[in-house]
């Protein structure tokens, strides 16, 4: 679903954001979020993402057809990320600080919680480390 390297990156982002207050660049975060979107799409849909709105529609359709609550939770949290994507990563929007921090503290945080609670990652060392930061 998501590579070990990506989970490690999420751990680093969460650790830096929470404890060191190290600045996370919008550009770096966009690359990471794009990679998350691509990996999740590959896992659930076996496709590469083709537009935010199309992907949100695909997610909403898929949520209805799957039975596992943990998979629905991942897709719902990904949909929340996509809902904020344009605002947070827009090049034309000049005052990103509050939106970006809200995104890190809300949408991305919720996604990381759902991800680390998914049965695929319950015993993964990187996910366990990340989960410990999210408490």
How many independent structural domains does the chain possess? 1
**Residue the block writes with tokens 């990340």:** 130
For range 88-117, the mean pLDDT: 87
Domain that holds residue 21: 4-133
Predicted pLDDT of residue 118: 97
Tens digits of residue pLDDT in 12-65: 999 998 999 788 888 999 999 999 999 999 999 999 888 999 999 999 999 999
């Amino acid at each position: 679903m998501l590579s070990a390297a990506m989970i490690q990156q999420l751990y680093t982002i969460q650790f830096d954001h929470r404890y060191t207050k190290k600045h996370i660049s919008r550009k770096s975060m966009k690359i990471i979020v794009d990679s998350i979107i691509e990996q999740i799409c590959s896992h659930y849909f076996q496709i590469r993402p083709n537009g935010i709105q199309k992907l949100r529609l695909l997610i909403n359709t898929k949520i209805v057809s799957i039975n596992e609550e943990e998979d629905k939770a991942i897709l719902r949290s990904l949909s929340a990320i996509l809902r904020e994507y344009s605002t947070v990563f827009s090049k034309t929007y000049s005052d990103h600080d509050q939106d970006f921090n809200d995104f890190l503290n809300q949408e991305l945080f919720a996604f990381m919680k759902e991800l680390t609670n998914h049965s695929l990652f319950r015993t993964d060392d990187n996910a366990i480390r990340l989960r410990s930061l999210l408490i």
